[in-house]
Amino acid sequence: MNNKSQRLFVDMDGTLAVFRPVDTLEKLYEKDYFANLEPQMNVIDGIRHIIRNNPNIEVFVLSAVLSDSPYAVPEKNTWLDKYLPEVDADHRLYPVCGESKKEFLKESYGGVRSDDFLLDDYSKNLHEWEPPAKGIKVMNGINGKNGTWTKDKVSIECDGKTFAECVVNIMQRRSQEYDLSNRIPNRPSRGGHR
């Protein structure tokens, strides 16, 4: 880990992988549930673009797992090996489901820094992340209907390069929001980061 790099922590379920609803909690414990999640290719391509073109940004996957599931961590690692091998094992972090991602980093990685960002589809995770760090909500077509997250957002409907550019612009305080409804970037706010 590079202490001088800006860090981007990326959620898996609903962000890198398409969220697959379950009717019972037991389904999350079934073999191959996580291994067979469909990739969200625009997001994956965007993260690859960030890794390749922004050596000043260190990318981590930060994905919650069920502590008593024998499959969650191995299957998520297999999935990442297949779809995003650019994120190595040292950059794959798995807090226990229900634990704050921010608290997990406090205990294991020296805490979050003010220039750290969390890319996540779940507003609760983003609210817990701030402050001192910042969140970016991934609009995946099934979230964002309650309006609880009013800060930076990026849509999965953006192509990979545009997705990456939006995330990097937000991280560099050149804020933009990519709207789901019309698929074009809104103008940056005058105050910079919203």
Token pair recorded at residue 161: 């390069």
CA 177 and chain centroid, separation: 16
> Who has greater pLDDT, 73 or 4?
73
108: exposed, middle or buried (C-beta count within 10 Å: 0-12, 13-18, 19+)?
exposed
> How high is the pLDDT of residue 141?
79
Checking if the pLDDT of 175 tops 80, the result is: no
CB neighbours (10 Å) of residue 33? Answer: 16
Average pLDDT, the chain: 87
Predicted model pTM: 0.87
Contacts of 158 (CB under 8 A, 6+ apart): 42, 46, 166, 178, 183
Closest listed residue to residue 59, CA positions, set 98, 79, 85: 85
Checking if the pLDDT of 189 tops 90, the result is: no
For the stretch 72-122, pLDDT in tens is 999 999 999 999 999 999 999 999 999 999 999 987 788 899 999 999 999
Token pair recorded at residue 139: 């609009």
